[in-house]
Structure 1
């Protein structure tokens, strides 16, 4: 499922994103011949009819023109190919590629045709066919054919990031039926969301890539078929995209009122503080403000006071992203869950919220926070039916402890409980050092970061660990080195994110399963390998009803919480934006995600902002 990535650019960089709006589909009745459709939905029919003219939240008459400059925080980039393991891809590359279908962010469980004009799903779910639009073109003018679709799938499975092979493992084959029809076949009892996931496959030009080394990162302006193309690359510093004037899909209902801005610019900054100064100076047009302190105190400057800069918040319509510190469970010292639980108790959220965050956050407790998917209280009968067969693999508290787990009140009591857990795990104090009683090895932990802004959040927790006798340190590296260390699993603890949708599916394999534990840059950075988790994830993916899905997510949530593989952080339940007031945007916003493609530059507002900036 599709979501926001912090480390890998583009809609289709699967290792660090999930498909936030895509889910399972409605099944035609057994025995009825399949009928070509314009879209697919989880329950009943898609909200929009076959003859819809545009998504309901867009302005189909939005003006075209102008530019939008945003910051990309990180040292640099060295690749314009977001689909491979090597290199650090530039921000925004996903806007240059189209897929077979696209999601409507105003619906939780629907997709509509993009490159595909119609979709044909086998009543027994053994395959899906896509009929391509004859007018679909790549940027170099070549037509998009079924051969390109099959080539893209095979190329990404063979030479793309390893997560493609995991994500599409249940696709048994792809068949070109004619120049504009392609069929994907599925294994028996495949995931219910698989037809939608295949629809989001990026389509690459066979004629361009078949004679090139796809695995080698470079900075070429590779042709896609999307609404934007690469216009300029300033290596490591800036990438500029221009709107494709003769974009083949401009008039499609899924695109009307979208892709209005002529130039999209991403400027690179070493850290967020420098990027904030650039925004205040008018060098950046818009920023997503993820730092509570900046949001509370950082906007007392002339442009904000005179109304040139404004702030707005967008409520989140999906479960809050689980962000947290993860242990590298591949290292023996973190394999005992008592050690992980002890170290988790050193995260003092009340202190952080009061002293750093202006009491603007709530503590995240669940992998499915702020949704009906999260576990609450004791397990229900439906959850117990799923958990009981796995009892031998589970912490007994899964059955007896209500969620959220109760923690000792006050830091002193939490540290006392952590101390007891470490002693239970075989640690002792010798010469004022915490060491394992058998090996004599000290308990060490290095926090690996690439963003200096997170250091102030990590330091209080590491100080609390040090009070227990843990040897702690922080290492801040550039993004390239950070990614390289993640690829080789060379870390003790890092920050990870697990975005969720209202209908979790195949992406859960990349998050939690044993299969993903050894895939470089999969979301399962911690290397969690638990047979109970594996079983619950597979059951979740194949859930036959909404009720069954909820039971599986809640059961999985309980097991994950008691694994203590993640120290959850916090969430706000909204997205905070600051912008120079020269843009128009949907009002209200789509319910299940902010669509920046539906924004536009307001000519009158833009002229006024330019006049004010010149007058300062």
Structure 2
């Protein structure tokens, strides 16, 4: 877990193409009149149990439970999972250190997303929210019974303290982006907190941003002289369903379900948080992790390596039926990961250089030879969704592109089909692409010397690919070899996780395997990923890409009144990003690969947006007893 992801407090949810419908009753509107001495008109105040920028919420007020859970799921048992590397902190929001897996689990948000309503957020710590039609402000009314794990009440003062803490001492990429949204945030009383938004800021996404705020115990932080800037192995108390009870850095973390969890009977929580214990075991490398799974050191494994999935699951536990091996559908929007160029480096300034480097990556050969043909190649930044640009721009999407025509670096996006990943042969080095790459580099001023080394102004083209993952060795090294055949002085440098984290945060790299986690509904958070104002410091924008044309389209997303308007603006942006060639799109998988000792169960139909094994799966005590009787555990 990286601090960059743990501080993405307003996580957007993605929507599979054609899966979700507008359905169910939505926001409960309680008409009231709000009169202000400073304005001459009155506004209707909306009071609701959740919020959506587009259309109605799926779940109406008073819903009994989420559709995808088993509300009668038994409680009990332990599920254990693996993590790689080490950790030295249980503070997931610090500016230093490497946070332990699931270390943000103890903390709840005012509102939370669910896994079958990609546009909605529902009250958790709050029991309701109120806001005017203008969305100039929002008030969250906290559950009076909400309590931290030590039994003390969660108050609006704790939320104010937490927001201030994040905006003062949180990661700069978060604090600088979010602080400009709020004119003020204040506790109206012990159970009501009001956020007032700054003028001139688009209102779309602001209520969801405020609703994503978590609650620290102000009393605990003051009593322990703690802050979120520094790593620490003692976890701050939270109000969530799990609390850490064993922390053995750098080997193990155990979380225990809080038997006195205040929110256990909330409709949004029924059928969830079913395991008594969640244990995380750390391993130095994938081989040790796999062997530990075979011997039962941990009991649930999510596989991400195609090599392992194809070759490593023929062992007695599988053959004897003790371990289930499954491929489960994953309808979530795949993260747009790949080989990212650090555009802060002058060597990558010319798009022809980036295109040449793209041409030297052979997805076809890599997938068939090294990944057993198990992956698909990603093209879009919003792959397999209604937000993915396709063919030639038309309709509202074309209209939006024409509105920024003077700002476009590559005007071919107006008339040409959207750029897709290049095709390659089934040989590691595709000579046709090699010739294209040579031509592009020559046009950009790079010429080979007598030794075949590409140089410009007497300086060689040097590229370091930085990594901390051993699993990438076999996938990246062939790409490095192809770059060398082009005359580039390329090297692959794998460092330890702590060094990688420091270099990543400091943008001290040429290329890394990273990317962008986008959402099916794009709001203010997209500025942190692709906006010019945040490009230099935002950890959510690893390439450092910026474009005035994209800035203008982001404004159209934020001003969108309908889903169609938002989607058209995103598709136009997708088209520009793909033409800019800010990264080499790599592989993606539309299934979850899982293996587990056959004592866990899940609802027959999983939600489209999550696997949920630590959320709404449960433990079957009879199956566990049978496995123990057979000596499998």
TM-score, length of structure 2 as denominator length: 0.91
Counterpart in the other structure of 2:172? 162
**In 2, Cα distance between equivalents of 1:384 and 1:352:** 35
Q: Is the 8 A contact 1:435 1:442 kept in 2?
A: yes
> How many angstroms does 1:482 deviate by?
0.4
Partner residue, 1:341 = 355
Spell out, residue by residue over 1:190-229, the C-alpha distance to the aligned partner (whole angstroms, 9 max, x if none).
Answer: 2412211221211111112244233121101321111011
Following the alignment from structure 1 to structure 2, what is the Cα–Cα distance between the partners of residues 504 and 610?
48
Q: Hey, what does 1:460 align to over in structure 2?
A: 478
1:161-208 CA distance string (max 9 Å, x none)? 123221453222112111111111112342412211221211111112
Q: Deviations over 1:256-293 (max 9, x none)?
A: 11111111111111222321111111112111111122
CA gap of 1:406–1:358, structure 2 versus 1, over 3 A, is closer
Where 1:598 maps in the other structure, the secondary structure is coil
Match in the other structure for 2:105:
95
Secondary structure at the counterpart of residue 118 of structure 2: coil
Q: Which residue of 2 aligns with 1:209?
A: 221
Q: What is the aligned partner in structure 1 of residue 209 from structure 2?
A: 197
- 1:46, CA displacement in angstroms? 2.0
- Give runs of aligned pairs for residues 269-348 of structure 1, distance below 5 A: 269-348=283-362
* Residues 92-131 of structure 1 aligned to structure 2 (within 5 Å): 92-131=102-141
2:150 paired residue number: 140
Number of equivalenced pairs? 605
Give, in angstroms, the shift of residue 569 of structure 1.
0.4
Work out whether residues 427 and 434 of structure 1, in 8 Å CA contact, stay in contact via their aligned partners in 2: no
Q: Give the corresponding residue for 2:190.
A: 179
Residue 538 of structure 1, CA deviation: 3.1
Deviations 1:20-77 (A, max 9, x none): 2699997979966224211223444322222222111111221111111111112x11
Q: Describe how 1:439-588 pairs up with structure 2 within 5 A.
A: 439-519=457-537, 522-588=539-605
Cα separation, partners in 2 of 1:32 and 1:461, compared to 1, 3 Å: same
Distance 1:43 1:336, change over 3 A: closer
1:2-29 deviation per Cα after TM superposition (whole angstroms, max 9, x unaligned): xxxx53498x4329x9432699997979
Residues 576 and 497 (structure 1), Cα distance of their counterparts in 2 relative to 1, 3 Å cut: farther
Q: Deviations over 1:374-419 (max 9, x none)?
A: 1111111322322232434321322232024374654211111101
Q: In the superposition, relative to structure 1, how do residues 226 and 485 fare at CA in structure 2: closer, same or farther (>3 Å)? A: same
SS in 1 for 2:580: coil
Query: What SS does structure 2 have at the residue aligned with 1:245?
Result: coil
Question: Which residue of structure 2 aligns with residue 393 of structure 1?
Answer: 408
Contact residue 583 and residue 600 of structure 1 kept, 8 A: yes
CA distance in 2, matches of 1:157, 1:593: 30
**1:187-266 correspondence to structure 2 within 5 Å:** 187-188=198-199, 189-210=201-222, 211-266=225-280
26 and 366 in structure 1: CA distance in 2 versus 1, 3 angstrom threshold: farther
Aligned 8 A contact 2:3 2:93 in 1: no
- Inter-CA distance 118–443: structure 2 relative to 1 (3 Å threshold): same
Quote how far apart the aligned CAs of 1:101 are: 1.1
**Residue of 7, 17, 22 corresponding to 1:13:** 7
Contact kept? 2:530, 2:550, Cα under 8 Å: yes
Say which SS state the counterpart of residue 295 (structure 1) adopts: helix
Indicate how the Cα distance of structure 1 residues 26 and 459 shifts in structure 2: closer, same or farther if over 3 A, else same.
farther
Residue 413 in 1 paired to residue 406 in 2? no
Query: Which residue does the alignment assign to 2:281?
Result: 267
Contact persistence 2:14–2:333 (CA under 8 A): no
**Counterparts of 2:524 and 2:82, CA distance in 1:** 31
Compare 594-603 and 32-41 and name the one that shifted more.
Answer: 32-41
Alpha-carbon spacing, 1:9–1:62, altered in 2? closer, same or farther (3 Å):
farther
Gaps spanning 5+ residues in structure 1: where?
1-5
Hey, which bits of structure 1, 4+ residues long, moved more than 6 A?
Answer: 22-31
Q: The residue matched to 1:109 in structure 2 has which SS? A: strand
d(CA) in 2 for partners of 1:279, 1:361: 24
* RMSD (Å) for aligned C-alpha atoms: 2.3
**CA distance in 2 between partners of 1:568 and 1:447 (Å):** 15
SS at match of 1:518: coil
Question: Structure 1 residues 162 and 40, CA, compared in 2 at 3 Å: closer, same or farther?
Answer: same
Kept in 2, the 8 Å contact 1:152–1:202? The answer is yes
**Partner secondary structure for residue 34 of structure 1:** strand
Aligned-partner Cα distance in 2 for 1:500–1:579? 30
Q: Is the 8 A contact 2:241 2:273 kept in 1?
A: yes
Unaligned residue ranges in structure 2 (runs of 5+) = 32-40
Offset of residue 325 of structure 1:
0.6
Partner deviation per Cα, 1:337-383 (whole Å, 9 max, x = no partner): 11111001111011011111221111100100101101111111322
8 Å CA contact retained: 2:95, 2:230: no
Other structure's SS at 1:95 match: coil
Cα drift, residue 492 of structure 1: 0.8
**Cα distance change on mapping 1:587 and 1:281 into 2, 3 Å:** same
Q: Secondary structure at the match of 2:117?
A: coil
Q: Secondary structure at the match of 2:340?
A: strand
Partners of 2:506 and 2:122 lie apart in 1 by 39
Q: Does 1:48 align with 2:59?
A: yes
Shift of 1:558: 1.0
Deviation string, structure 1 residues 67-99 (Cα, Å, up to 9, x no partner): 11111112x111111112211110001211111
